[in-house]
Amino acid sequence: MVIEVESLDLPKKHPDPLVNVGSLHTDKQLEEYSKQYFEADVRGFTYTYGERLRAYRCPFCNAVVDQIDFIKAKLSKFPLTNQAVAVLYNPLKDPDKERHNDPPCWNWVQFRIRDGELHITALFRSHDYCKGLYPNLYAIAKLAESIHKGPRKLTLISTSAHIYEADYRTALKHVGPYNAIYRV
């Protein structure tokens, strides 16, 4: 059995993702996981978020785009732009009608600067609440630090945040004082 929350939007009361408050992961595990956001190497996987962000490949033209470099350049030249966007899902590569495959859970991200503060909006199609949520929050916060120094606001939208039955008790302990906010 899987418990699913549709349209999980993390509240502003959530603590800073770079401060490990009750994560199910050690600081060392979070650091190791976040590396895949910065490196283009797929590390033996079909893809990594870093590969999609740092070396996004066009299947037809063989072009490779570093979306993070683009975002940094765009924000540097046009700080108020709405165009500092990266896409991780590749509609020419990821869909497979014949089998259940593993397309990226993280599909899209936008970086905007407002009143000197970096606003990040990340859209996930799916989230394993216990095993993926906090590492993703942490890694996106680290990525944001590399893009813009200073205050930031992170909005993470997950259209399907789920907790596997085996992880439910762990999730309740992890959520603790945020239970009412997260509706677990």
What digits encode the pLDDT tens for the residues 119-177? 999 999 988 888 888 888 888 988 999 999 888 888 888 888 888 888 888 777 766 65
Could you tell me the pTM of the whole model? 0.81
Give the total number of structural domains in the chain. Answer: 1
SS3 call for 31 = helix
Cβ atoms of 5 and 161 closer than 8 Å: yes
DSSP assignment of 99-143 equals S-----SEEEEEEEEETTEEEEEEEES-EEIIIIIHHHHHHHHHH
Q: Looking at residue 79, what is its pLDDT?
A: 94
Report the CATH number at residue 24: 3.30.572.10
Cβ atoms of 110 and 147 closer than 8 Å: no
- Domain coverage including residue 88: 2-182
**CA-closest candidate to residue 129, choices 90, 103, 87, 166:** 166
Q: Looking at residue 74, what is its pLDDT?
A: 98
Q: Which residues pair with residue 184 across a beta bridge? A: none
For residues 135 and 14, which has the higher predicted lDDT (pLDDT)? Answer: 135
Q: Give the catalytic positions in this structure.
A: 105
For residue 93, pLDDT beyond 90: no
Give the chain's mean pLDDT.
81
